[in-house]
Structure 1
Amino acid sequence: MINNAFIFIIVSIVLTLLSLLLDRKKTVMGLKKGWKMFQNIAIPFLNILILVSLALYVVPPSLIVKYLGPGSGWGGQMIAAIVGSITLIPGFISYPIASVLIKEGASYAIVATFMTTLMMVGVVTLPLEIAYFGRKVAILRNVLNFITAIVIGTFVGFIL
């Protein structure tokens, strides 16, 4: 059986070769830019993965299930929403974290709430947001997104 990663790699290679045939200069420039971007994100990505691994090593799965599992209810959802709101992690790093949380016993509803607040609510970036959009708009946006994230998490919990 062929897995999705293998298909993705083959398609990427074929499209890169096609791009080389169509415009070699632009393709090489794009590959160089992509490599620089990879170098810029590799260290932060590895650092966060190491921190998450250490945290999961220290925190037993039973504790994750207790506070973030299916039986944790609204309390677990609020913990996930608050942690997601104050954490500043890029999206591409949050997906492996979500996978690990689910494997360790966290519920889909809680992981959905965490992921949604992570992307939509920015407590850490609030001062910058206030500077650009004004106090009222920045706070209103964050409060509405916080509530929306909880609704989305609850909806995911009902579906899954």
Structure 2
Amino acid sequence: MNTVFTYWFYGLAAVLLILSFVKDKSKTLLSLKNAWKMFIGVLPQFVAILLFVGLALAVLSPETIRRMIGEETGFTGMLLTSLIGAITLIPVMIAFPIVAELLKNGAGLTQMAVFVCALTTVGSITIPVEIKYLGRKTAILRNVLVFLFSFITAYLMGVFLK
């Protein structure tokens, strides 16, 4: 079923690209050129992260992953993955394949959900910039609240996606 949707979306993207090309050839070509530049800019990070994950999965057995961040680890596993997510600075489009591989190898759904939530919302690396523009109290409060809400979101995802 997933394959059908994938092909459907590829087809839809192709049709929309053709329509865009028919409507305005120069803008479409400019957009494709910009998209290619963005892809090339992210490619080294993407390859490095995939190599790291591949190496980690080669070293860590599915049993080890299950024991550290599997569903049965409960809140402890969620806390571990949330802290890793909060301090990690990688693009989300790179995080999703990592999460998919970890899920295939025994990681828990709620543990991965809290990882993605913390990764995308908590700005522990960017907090100096937040403090500069939002003020210390607001920046810290925002980060603490989104860290806590990442657990609520992960719990709800675990309830609805199981």
TM-score normalised according to structure 1 size: 0.93
CA distance in 1, matches of 2:79, 2:41: 33
**Is the aligned partner of 1:9 residue 2:13?**
no
Quote the Cα distance in structure 2 between the aligned partners of 1:73 and 1:19. Answer: 48
Counterpart in 2 of 1:120?
A: 121
Q: Deviations over 1:14-37 (max 9, x none)?
A: 211211111111111111111111
**For the residues of structure 1 that align with 2:45 and 2:135, how far apart are their CA atoms?**
31
Counterpart CA distance in 1 for 2:58 and 2:140 is 36
1:157 paired with 2:158, answer yes
- Say whether 1:131 aligns with 2:128: no
Work out the percentage of aligned pairs sharing the same amino acid: 39
> Which consecutive residues of structure 1, in runs of 5 or more, have no partner in the other structure?
none
Superposition deviation, residue 68 in structure 1: 0.9
- Tell me the TM-score normalized by structure 2: 0.92
Helix, strand or coil at the partner of 1:44: helix
Alpha-carbon distance between aligned partners in 2 of 1:80 and 1:26, rounded to the nearest angstrom: 42
Hey, what does 2:100 align to over in structure 1?
A: 99
Corresponding residue for 1:84?
85
What CA distance in whole angstroms lies between the structure 1 residues aligned with 2:155 and 2:8?
34
Amino acid at match of 2:54: S
2:58 corresponds in structure 1 to: 57
Paired amino acid for 1:91? V
**In 1, distance between residues paired with 2:83 and 2:115?**
8
**Further displaced range: 112-121 or 47-56:** 47-56
Q: 1:122 & 1:41 partners in 2: Cα distance?
A: 20
5+ residue gaps, structure 2, are none
The aligned length equals 160
Give the alignment's Cα RMSD to 1 decimal: 1.4
Structure 1 Cα separation of the partners of residues 75 and 20 of structure 2: 50
Question: Shift in Å at residue 60 of structure 1?
Answer: 1.8
Amino acid at match of 1:83: I
Measure how far apart 1:47 and its partner are: 1.0
For residues 158 and 16 of structure 1, the distance between their equivalents in structure 2, rounded to whole angstroms, comes to 38
1:3 CA drift (Å) = 2.2
Partner of 2:26: 25
